[in-house]
Structure 1
């Protein structure tokens, strides 16, 4: 759109330069990179159709996404309003009136000079404030940057939403697996208790073995309500993320399933990629641009304003003559205004906008540092958890073999009951730790994808359902 040439108040925005390290510190960053599409739709790497479906449902039903889209529409309307302010205003008017002067106004020193009359008019009025100092252009610049920031805010909500849905889904599968382990442990403890009772009745062991076995049974039974409560809470949290009532997913998640695991390779890239992939970084940069333009808006207030106005129309005392050449009328005018003294208000406003711009710059720089920190932390956590998971797999295998051997020795009388109890407890601990580590490995991978900005451009322009 062509604009009037002229000086533009305030500083021109330039993106602050940022120096990045060449690579990440973690050894995981040296792995072969997958395709960029794998990062944009990272949840598909878990090969879990239900997780894919939940992500889609969350995109359509989440209320935070709905609010972010409404904020985007608001920013777009504000941008359009700023553009409209730089264009002329044109209005049309029409009127018809009957006037009856008072007696005092109709008769004077020289006799009668007025009587009742009609008046008809129809015209167009136009006004245009010239943007000689760039106030409106800076306002448009600020509104455009704010619109971009709102679009990035929507993307950031989506990145967080996809990660939270996946994390809650992992929690559901984790608690389901721990619940199954607890039930199997209770069953095994019950069988051991029965063996202890039979051997005590035969006089082969003392009653102490029976009491110890009973204690283990009840201790295993006590774990189940706690896991059931945690499982239900995880289901309810997942439902709310999808914009559903807390219990709507109970039937869908009724059956337990293994914790989904992605392949042990990731799409990392280089630190500079974070600027291109993290919506929160791009959002803070756009807010900085918007605030920089506001300095120009404030500075333009110190210069005079110029307005052109005019009108053309028709005016007649008789309706029949309104649309004739004799009824034509027009007016043109130019006006200016310049604030000569305002007790420092404009200068103070410039200082305010400059200080806000400095705050936005600090926020932008801190957002970059936070993003880099989150990626480094996620890489370290994932690497260490993978090592822990491998050790726990070996531990669980050894624990299962140890329990089988202890039970055989107890039944033949070559080992005491305490050895069986210790083996059972060790196996239960190892199995729970392994499930926890598998869940944490998946969760750490999800957190890494979130830190990298994974999912930031998926379905970005799809319309959102209106909440009912």
Structure 2
């Protein structure tokens, strides 16, 4: 027995030497190394109104604070910590961080402990002694895949890029939540402004109904004029319920965005406030900033990196896989002799697995991955074009609506004067009552349009900064890694 043990130990250095040669023989990673795509973007924005913006890049700022509305700031702050979509995306980040850890663990040997306790009796009828024994064993087992052709390394590359893509997805959700909260807040204030315009118009028409009624009493107005005044009043009153419905829906939507039950924000948001006014000196940077700012573009780039790494994983199946495994432990019938020199055992050595024929499945899988890489490259380019298009359109909408807002403000001032003059002339019997009705309708329409235009201007400012990828610091991921 001892002679055999000495023979095994003499062979051990040869086994280790062979394993070392395998590990040191030019380990490489098959498949293409990832290179970031080079997509050309314009040097400047093409919109005619681009000159109205500052060229400096301020998209990473907390753009909502430019409205100078503390309530809006508070709502966005609460949403950033309690929105359920954002919480779900953060949990997904944790999931893919752990997935990366799982794959990274394949770089290291797997070591385990095994123990046995076996009671056994041999059969006398089968020619054995018929003795009953209890066998005890305790040992270590280890296995390690030698990553000679980079299958594990490429798997880690893919998992890391996947993890980073999910991080960008979380950032995209965050930008979306910030803009949705702000847009919903603007809608709430816009509905309130429109309700205010409706109520003001109703009060004016109630006064006209009183005036026409008084004039009819003294024979100065016809019954038709009274009916027309009452019809105009009822028509204006009918505009109020739909606006109240929309206001209630917007407030309930805001509650859900903040992770609250519908109705919980009624008291906070029911009081009317002015529509926030966006700043006049918006900064948009240059088109190239979008590649760095927008998480959807960054995510598309990381997804391209994932598929590129998977090409190497597929190609690694064309080459042999080497593993090194071993075990060491003790076995004995008697517990007192378990850890004696005569009770030890061991085994160690490399193994080879090479799929030399697969019916073309490996080559076809490589072709699949090559095609996926091309798809992701096209998707990345398409995402960039979509982002540029969204930014250009938002820029145009913001500037044009700002001009429209100025015209409507002048229209409202003129319509108020028209109503005042027509009503005074009607009292004097110098104009028909139809002039009064038309001027009142024109004032109501212009005031309602002005409220909507103010809301549109603020919403377009929000959409512009969301299109630029504003509202977060793209360097935060790098900072968190350090």
Mapped pair 1:257 → 2:273? yes
Mapped pair 1:247 → 2:268? no
Secondary structure of 2:275's counterpart equals coil
Mapped pair 1:369 → 2:385? yes
Report the counterpart of residue 63 of structure 2 in structure 1. Answer: 42
Mapped pair 1:163 → 2:179? yes
Normalising to structure 2: TM-score of the pair? Answer: 0.91
Mapped pair 1:193 → 2:209? yes
Following superposition, the deviation at residue 94 of structure 1 comes to 1.6
Report the counterpart of residue 133 of structure 1 in structure 2. Answer: 149
Query: What is the RMSD computed on CA atoms of the aligned residues?
Result: 1.9
Mapped pair 1:58 → 2:58? no
**Residue pairs, 1:37-436, within 5 angstroms:** 39-107=60-128, 113=129, 115-436=131-452
For 2:418 and 2:78, locate their aligned partners in 1 and report how far apart those are by CA, in whole Å.
Answer: 46
For 1:276 and 1:149, locate their aligned partners in 2 and report how far apart those are by CA, in whole Å.
Answer: 14
Q: Return closer, same or farther for 1:231/1:90 CA change in 2, 3 Å cut-off.
A: same
Any idea what the Cα deviations from partners look like across 1:10-38, whole Å, max 9, x if unmatched?
A: 11110111111111123543346497666
Structure 2 portions without partners, runs of 5+: 1-22, 478-482
Report the counterpart of residue 6 of structure 1 in structure 2. Answer: 27
Secondary structure of 1:104's counterpart equals coil
Q: Return closer, same or farther for 1:284/1:450 CA change in 2, 3 Å cut-off.
A: same
Following superposition, the deviation at residue 255 of structure 1 comes to 0.4
Following superposition, the deviation at residue 457 of structure 1 comes to 3.0
Does structure 2 conserve the Cα–Cα contact (< 8 Å) formed by 1:239 and 1:248? yes
Following superposition, the deviation at residue 406 of structure 1 comes to 0.9
Any idea what the Cα deviations from partners look like across 1:109-149, whole Å, max 9, x if unmatched?
A: xxxx5622232211111111111110110000000000110
Does structure 2 conserve the Cα–Cα contact (< 8 Å) formed by 1:4 and 1:131? no
Report the counterpart of residue 25 of structure 1 in structure 2. Answer: 46
For 1:317 and 1:238, locate their aligned partners in 2 and report how far apart those are by CA, in whole Å.
Answer: 73
For 2:56 and 2:149, locate their aligned partners in 1 and report how far apart those are by CA, in whole Å.
Answer: 48
Following superposition, the deviation at residue 382 of structure 1 comes to 0.6
Secondary structure of 1:105's counterpart equals coil
Q: Return closer, same or farther for 1:195/1:4 CA change in 2, 3 Å cut-off.
A: farther
Structure 1 portions without partners, runs of 5+: 108-112, 462-468
Any idea what the Cα deviations from partners look like across 1:275-316, whole Å, max 9, x if unmatched?
A: 110000000000000111001101101111111111111122
Report the counterpart of residue 19 of structure 2 in structure 1. Answer: none
Any idea what the Cα deviations from partners look like across 1:247-266, whole Å, max 9, x if unmatched?
A: 11111111011100121111
Deviates more, 1:22-31 or 1:95-104: 22-31
For 1:435 and 1:375, locate their aligned partners in 2 and report how far apart those are by CA, in whole Å.
Answer: 25
Does structure 1 conserve the Cα–Cα contact (< 8 Å) formed by 2:278 and 2:457? no
Report the counterpart of residue 449 of structure 1 in structure 2. Answer: 465
Normalising to structure 1: TM-score of the pair? Answer: 0.94
Any idea what the Cα deviations from partners look like across 1:416-445, whole Å, max 9, x if unmatched?
A: 211111111111111011111000000000
For 1:74 and 1:6, locate their aligned partners in 2 and report how far apart those are by CA, in whole Å.
Answer: 31
* Aligned residue pair count: 455
Following superposition, the deviation at residue 56 of structure 1 comes to 1.1
Following superposition, the deviation at residue 460 of structure 1 comes to 6.8
For 2:274 and 2:195, locate their aligned partners in 1 and report how far apart those are by CA, in whole Å.
Answer: 12
Secondary structure of 2:469's counterpart equals coil
Following superposition, the deviation at residue 70 of structure 1 comes to 1.5
Does structure 1 conserve the Cα–Cα contact (< 8 Å) formed by 2:56 and 2:285? no
Deviates more, 1:232-241 or 1:41-50: 232-241
Does structure 2 conserve the Cα–Cα contact (< 8 Å) formed by 1:316 and 1:322? yes
Secondary structure of 2:118's counterpart equals strand
Any idea what the Cα deviations from partners look like across 1:349-377, whole Å, max 9, x if unmatched?
A: 11111111111111100000000000000
Does structure 2 conserve the Cα–Cα contact (< 8 Å) formed by 1:156 and 1:456? no
Q: Return closer, same or farther for 1:431/1:180 CA change in 2, 3 Å cut-off.
A: same
Does structure 1 conserve the Cα–Cα contact (< 8 Å) formed by 2:60 and 2:293? no
Any idea what the Cα deviations from partners look like across 1:320-367, whole Å, max 9, x if unmatched?
A: 011223322211122111112111111111111111111111110000
For 1:286 and 1:293, locate their aligned partners in 2 and report how far apart those are by CA, in whole Å.
Answer: 11
Q: Return closer, same or farther for 1:458/1:217 CA change in 2, 3 Å cut-off.
A: farther
Secondary structure of 1:103's counterpart equals coil
Secondary structure of 1:290's counterpart equals helix
For 1:320 and 1:311, locate their aligned partners in 2 and report how far apart those are by CA, in whole Å.
Answer: 22
Does structure 1 conserve the Cα–Cα contact (< 8 Å) formed by 2:55 and 2:286? no
Following superposition, the deviation at residue 49 of structure 1 comes to 0.8
Does structure 2 conserve the Cα–Cα contact (< 8 Å) formed by 1:403 and 1:424? yes
